[in-house]
Chain A
Amino acid sequence: DAGITQSPRHKVTETGTPVTLRCHQTENHRYMYWYRQDPGHGLRLIHYSYGVKDTDKGEVSDGYSVSRSKTEDFLLTLESATSSQTSVYFCAISSPAPGTYDTGELFFGEGSRLTVL
């Protein structure tokens, strides 16, 4: 199994509070991702990183920010949590496709279940 650890695995919080989810990898992979998974929507990309301090927005980035100060850690922050951000959040890592700099296969963490009351 790929060395990906997400923390916390479960969190219940109140509307308006800040929340930070952490993703830690031991694989030294360059690319890291945060997805959210909701029934009927599949996986939706929130933000991704293609190197230390290099990040970009995904399709559902509003209300989220990220930081990557070290190769191994990718943090997802909800500055002021809302009930619509209740979801399961997955971190993923990727190495390039063989012989390229293109995104290759993803390896996923176990997920973090966030409930915003």
Chain B
Amino acid sequence: AQSVTQPDIHITVSEGASLELRCNYSYGATPYLFWYVQSPGQGLQLLLKYFSGDTLVQGIKGFEAEFKRSQSSFNLRKPSVHWSDAAEYFCAVGARYSGNTPLVFGKGTRLSVIA
């Protein structure tokens, strides 16, 4: 079975600074990988996904993530953070060739943005 770890519970960055949120997974093959964002009181919205192909994935709202097989990681990045990016971010991993096995979610990283 797959598993995922988000090592940082809470990160604070200044508006305009760069951002990197960490995601590490454990799975015996190449997984499917996802990043979701959740604003307060809202449901989760998909930021980006990796199924196959180019390991650098572009998403919505200026986010990108890079799949690094050697490091079992799928870190989320943004070059310049805006105050509206303050939210909770979840990484999720899916199992390939597994039929209906559900995605496994990390516990989330809360992002605070300061002026």
Where the two chains meet, the residues of A that have a C-beta atom closer than 8 Å to any C-beta of B are: 31, 33, 40-43, 45, 48, 50, 56, 58, 90, 92, 94, 97-98, 100-111
Contacts and interface: CB of A to CB of B under 8 A. Distances in A.
A91 to B, nearest CB: 9
Nearest to A48: B102
Given A42-B108, A43-B90, A102-B94, A110 B42 contact: yes
Nearest to B42: A110
Contacts of A108: 36, 43-45
Name the prevailing secondary structure of the B interface residues.
loop
Interface of A, helix, strand, loop or mixed by DSSP: strand
Interface string B25-65: 00000001010100001111110010100000000000000
A104 B107 CA distance: 20
